[in-house]
């Protein structure tokens, strides 16, 4: 179980998360959606402990985890941008991560799935963006972690790797693991997500399954529903600013 | 921490930087030795190089290494490892590899040439200690500067300014203040001024040991008068080590509150 309680976070006084509370109890795929800068990555990094919230609590497996480290044994993380120490070879990197975690990971099956066999003796600096992402995916999945956090897992992947990734996520879901992912590709969300969490301006606007989302917005499909939500918010903003303007005028008249 | 130290140490020792640093001191020390043909004179010249260059190279390497390994640090932060272990492991891996390059670079020529007496050997060891302390202190300071500034240009600029201030500007200000306040008793003031600059401190340490009274200068003389040679050496060594411990402690404390 992963639980966030009333998380607040600001970077240099710019608020990013404004009171986010969230509970993920059952195994399954949780898709965190939202426009750019809505706080998706910050939310993930709060669970990981890479970002320390200003207020609020994070629980992983029922245990409060802020400023702790050993709980990350149960977490696999895929960062948005995959970069590694340049001097290392791919196989050295896998070995090193296993050594540092003190866990014996199973990378062979994953290397095969993503077709990385021929790159094992390559230096990481010589790999293309997509291949680096595959290396990153291997690291994320090789320890069979209970919680898997994927930040934009589809970026830079070719269709073959995409299919392999979907299959992998599906398998992990069947095993009862909690998978949290952010993506801009709605097709992935529609096919895989059990629950959708829609973040906007640092707050959760919606949490529930696709049917509930369709019901709420009166549209069909995630893409259309999300667009509806965004438009509604935009409209709401305009209305309130118009109202404020009106009030301001009234005040002026009264003066 | 040990595992991270091991990886960053081997990553660094294989890199071109350590080899370059090693070769630089190897060539400088050998040419000084064979050209002057006198190991104590070579040591005096070497001291001047070590006192200025070790802090500069420490500053540059500290900032460069931190910015280069930022991605690696982020990868490590997602693993079940304590933050303090990650940062201290990275720092000590870097510091040990640079210090080893420095020590190997200046020791090899002396071994081939011969030390020419126990006195020279002790003097040589003092320079090695002073150079190592300066390297570690400035590595830690610049590591900290880079940690605090995510903007590379700002980080580099600030680290260089700190070096410039400590190595050059500080002395000018010091001399100026001695000149302006010459009518007042300045012993305590100048002692304090020396203690708060690691470069001055190491310079005093080496000069006290080498017993070059002509080069001791005002602070050295005050140090000598105040503490005598051996006590002066111990006190300056203690404060110089504080200059390593302080920034290292700050790294281990600051890294806990940082967002990535």
- In DSSP notation, A47-107 reads HHTSS--SEEEEEETTEE-TT--GGGGGEEEE-SS----TTSBHHHHHHHHHHHHT-----
Of residues B40, B207, B212, the one with CA closest to residue B114: B40
Phi and psi of A122, rounded to 5°?
A: -80, 150
Average pLDDT of the residues in B171-178? 84
Q: pLDDT-based confidence at A246, cuts 50/70/90? A: very low
- pLDDT at residue number A240: 61
Best to test chain B binding among A41, A69, A136, A148 (most B CBs inside 10 Å): A69
Give the best-scoring range by mean pLDDT among A18-22, B129-133, B179-183: B129-133
Task: Give dist(CA A37, CA B140) in Å, integer.
Answer: 34
pLDDT of residue B115 exceeding 90, the answer is: no
- Confidence at residue B219, expressed as pLDDT on a 0 to 100 scale: 66
Shortest Cα–Cα distance, B260 to chain A (Å): 5
Which residue of chain B has the CA closest to A99?
B3
| B188-194 long-range Cβ contacts below 8 angstroms, 24+ apart | B190/B218, B190/B219, B190/B222, B191/B219, B191/B222, B191/B223, B191/B226, B193/B219, B194/B219, B194/B222, B194/B223, B194/B236
* Phi, psi of B160, deg, nearest 5: -65, -40
* Contact present, A197 and A30 (Cβ < 8 Å): yes
Q: Exposed (0-12), middle (13-18) or buried (19+): which is B137, by Cβ within 10 Å?
A: buried
Closest CA to B139 of B51, B195, B56, B70: B56
List of residues 6+ apart from A109 with CB closer than 8 A: none
User: Does residue B92 carry a pLDDT above 90?
Assistant: yes
Is residue B136 scored above 90 in pLDDT?
yes
C-alpha–C-alpha distance, residues A154 and A149, integer Å: 13
Distance between CA atoms of residues B69 and B152, nearest Å: 13
Find the chain B residues whose C-beta atoms sit closer than 8 A to any C-beta of A. Answer: 3-4, 7, 11, 14-15, 69, 71-72, 74-83, 256-257, 259-260
* Per-residue confidence band for B250, with pLDDT thresholds at 50, 70 and 90: very high
Over residues A48-61, the mean pLDDT reads 89
Residue B233 has a pLDDT of 78
Predicted confidence (pLDDT) per residue in A123-148, tens digit: 888 888 889 889 999 999 999 889 99
| Mean per-residue pLDDT over chain A, rounded | 84
- Measured CA to CA in angstroms, residue A15 lies from A11, A39, A49, B119 at distances of 6, 9, 18, 64
- E strands, chain B, are none
Residue of A nearest to B82 (CA): A69
The fraction of chain A above a pLDDT of 70, given in percent, is: 92
CB contact under 8 A, A45 and B80: no
**Can you tell me whether residue B157 is helix, strand or coil?**
helix
Instruction: Read off the pLDDT of residues B193-241 as tens digits, 9 standing for 90 and up.
Output: 878 888 888 888 887 777 765 565 666 677 777 766 677 778 888 888 9
B47 phi, psi to nearest 5 deg: -60, -45
Q: Which of A141, A133, A132, A148 is nearest to A105 (CA)?
A: A141
Residue A167 lies in a domain: yes
The C-alpha of A50 sits at a distance from chain B's nearest C-alpha, in angstroms, of: 5
Least CB-CB distance to B77: which of A50, A67, A84? A50
Report the mean per-residue pLDDT for chain B: 86
Q: Do B76 and A100 touch (CB under 8 A)?
A: yes
Least confident of B27-36, B50-59, B186-195: B186-195
Question: Does residue A152 have a pLDDT over 90?
Answer: no
Q: Which of B6, B64, B65, B77 to mutate to test the interface with A (most CBs of A within 10 A)?
A: B77
Has residue A229 been placed in a domain? no
User: Is the CB of A48 less than 8 angstroms away from the CB of B78?
Assistant: yes
pLDDT of residue A247: 45
For residue B15, list chain A residues with Cβ-Cβ distance below 8 A: 87
Q: Is the pLDDT score of B167 beyond 80?
A: yes
Mean pLDDT, residues B108-133: 86
Question: How far is the C-alpha of A200 from the C-alpha of A197, rounded, in Å?
Answer: 10
Please tell me which residue of chain B has the smallest CA distance to A139. B75
CB A198 within 8 A of CB A33: yes
Domain count, chain B: 1
**Which chain A residues have a beta carbon less than 8 Å from that of B74?**
50, 79, 83
**Does this complex have an ipTM over 0.85?**
no
Residue A232 falls inside a structural domain: no
- Reported as half-sphere exposure (CB side, CA atoms, 13 A), residue A23 has a value of 3
Where is B257: in which H helix or E strand? none
What's the CA gap between A226 and A35, in Å, rounded?
10
Instruction: Count CB pairs under 8 A between chains A and B.
Output: 60
Averaged pLDDT for residues B229-254: 87
Q: A85 contacts in B (CB within 8 Å)?
A: 11, 69, 71-72
**Distance (Å) from the alpha carbon of B204 to chain A's nearest alpha carbon:** 40
Residue A46 sits in a domain whose CATH number is 3.40.50.300
Query: Which of A69, A73, A87 minimises the CB distance to B15?
Result: A87
Question: Residue A217 pLDDT > 80, yes or no?
Answer: no
Nearest to B49 by CA among B77, B25, B74: B25
Q: Are B201 and B194 in contact (CB under 8 A)?
A: yes
B71/A83 CB distance under 8 A: yes
Residue A221 in this model has a pLDDT that exceeds 60: yes
Of B100, B125, B104, the C-alpha closest to B39 is B125
Q: In angstroms, rounded to a whole number, what is the distance separating the alpha carbons of residues A113 and B255?
A: 37
Contact A51 B78 (CB under 8 A): no
Q: Report the C-alpha gap between B105 and B128 in whole angstroms.
A: 11
Mean pLDDT of B177-205: 82
B1 or B200, which is more confident? Answer: B200
Evaluate if residue B116 carries a pLDDT over 80: no
Domain that holds residue A74: 2-208
Which structural domain, as residue segments, surrounds residue B140? Answer: 2-257
Collect all residues of chain B within an 8 Å Cβ-Cβ radius of residue A48.
77-78
Among the partner residues A51, A73, A83, nearest to B259 by beta-carbon distance: A51
Residue from B1, B72, B77, B80 whose CB has the most chain A CBs within 10 Å, to mutate:
B80
Please answer yes or no on whether B80 and A70 come within 8 Å at the CB atom.
Answer: yes
What average pLDDT score do residues A245-249 get?
A: 44
CB A137 within 8 A of CB A172: no
Which helix (H) or strand (E) is A246 found in, with range?
A: helix A222-254
Is B244:B137 a contact under the CB 8 Å cutoff?
yes
How high is the pLDDT of residue A185? Answer: 81
Say if CB A149 and CB A115 are below 8 A apart: no
- pLDDT at position A249 is 42
A18: left (phi over 0), alpha (psi -120 to 50) or beta: beta
Q: What are phi and psi of A58, to 5 degrees?
A: -120, 130
- Contact criterion met (CB < 8 Å) for B81 and A69: yes
- CB-based contacts of A172: which residues, under 8 Å, 6+ apart? A141, A148, A179
CB count within 10 Å of CB B150 equals: 12
pLDDT score for A179: 93
């Amino acid at each position: 179980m992963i639980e966030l309680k009333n998380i607040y976070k600001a970077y240099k006084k710019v608020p990013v998360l404004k009171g986010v509370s969230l509970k993920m109890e059952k195994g399954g795929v949780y898709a965190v959606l939202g426009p750019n800068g809505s706080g998706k990555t910050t939310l993930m990094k709060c669970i990981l402990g890479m970002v320390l919230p200003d207020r609020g609590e994070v629980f992983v497996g029922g245990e409060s985890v802020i400023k702790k480290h050993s709980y990350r044994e149960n977490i696999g993380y895929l960062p948005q941008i995959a970069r590694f120490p340049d001097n290392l070879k791919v196989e050295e990197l896998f070995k090193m991560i296993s050594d540092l975690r003190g866990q014996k990971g199973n990378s062979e099956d994953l290397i095969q799935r993503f077709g990385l066999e021929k790159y094992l003796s390559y230096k990481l600096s010589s790999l293309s963006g997509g291949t680096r992402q595959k290396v990153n995916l291997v690291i994320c999945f090789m320890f069979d972690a209970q919680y898997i956090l994927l930040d934009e897992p589809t970026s830079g992947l070719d269709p073959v790797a995409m299919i392999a990734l979907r299959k992998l996520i599906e398998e992990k879901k069947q095993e009862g693991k909690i998978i949290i992912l952010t993506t801009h590709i709605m097709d992935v969300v529609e096919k895989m997500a059990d629950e959708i969490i829609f973040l906007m301006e640092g707050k959760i606007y919606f949490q529930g399954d696709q049917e509930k989302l369709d019901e709420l917005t009166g549209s069909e499909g995630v893409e259309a529903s999300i667009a509806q939500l965004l438009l509604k918010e935009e409209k709401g903003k305009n209305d309130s600013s118009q109202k404020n303007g009106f009030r301001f005028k009234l005040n002026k008249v009264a003066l | 921490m040990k595992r991270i130290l091991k990886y960053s140490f081997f990553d660094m020792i294989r890199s071109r930087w350590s080899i370059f640093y090693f070769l630089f001191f190897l060539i400088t020390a050998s040419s000084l030795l064979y050209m002057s043909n006198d190991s104590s004179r070579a040591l005096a010249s070497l001291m001047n190089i070590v006192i200025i260059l070790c802090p500069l190279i420490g500053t540059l390497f500290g900032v460069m290494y931190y910015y280069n390994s930022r991605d690696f640090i982020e990868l490590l932060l997602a693993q079940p490892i304590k933050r303090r272990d990650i940062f201290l492991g990275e720092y000590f891996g870097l510091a040990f590899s640079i210090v080893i390059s420095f020590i190997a670079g200046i020791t090899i020529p002396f071994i081939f040439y011969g030390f020419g007496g126990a006195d020279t050997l002790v003097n040589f060891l003092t320079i090695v200690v002073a150079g190592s302390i300066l390297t570690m202190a400035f590595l830690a300071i610049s590591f900290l500067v880079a940690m605090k500034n995510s903007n590379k240009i700002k980080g580099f600029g600030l680290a260089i300014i700190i070096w410039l201030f400590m190595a050059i500007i500080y002395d000018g200000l010091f001399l100026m203040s001695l000149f302006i306040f010459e009518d007042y008793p300045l012993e305590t003031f100048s002692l304090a001024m020396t203690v708060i600059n690691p470069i001055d401190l190491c310079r005093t340490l080496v000069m006290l040991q080498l017993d070059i009274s002509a080069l001791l200068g005002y602070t050295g003389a005050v140090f000598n008068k105040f503490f005598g040679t051996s006590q002066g050496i111990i006190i300056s060594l203690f404060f110089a080590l504080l200059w390593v411990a302080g920034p290292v402690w700050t790294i281990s404390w600051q890294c806990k509150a940082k967002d990535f």
